[in-house]
Amino acid sequence: MIMKLSYSIIGMSITGALLIISIPFLFNNPIGNILYFIIAILAAALIFFTVTSIRTRRKLDEEFKQKFY
């Protein structure tokens, strides 16, 4: 469970960094509509990793409460 949380946090940071790097290319678009497609995929991946990490953290909190309270 902790590995799943760590992988989702790493995935969030990588996709977030790639989205930040791709912002300047939106103003001077060298490859056309493919860039918009790539940015949409990165945004969807970021949302997926965010939701996964939130759900995993809540499950870990519940397990912790059951174990120690």
Measured CA to CA, the distance from residue 42 to residue 12 in angstroms comes to 10
CA distance 36 to 44: 12
24-60: per-residue pLDDT in tens? 888 887 777 888 888 899 999 999 999 999 999 999 9
Q: Please give the model's pTM, rounded to 2 decimal places.
A: 0.80
Cβ(15)–Cβ(45) under 8 Å?
A: yes
CA nearest to 16, candidates 55, 53, 59, 61: 53
Q: What is the pLDDT of residues 55-68, one digit of tens each?
A: 999 999 998 888 88
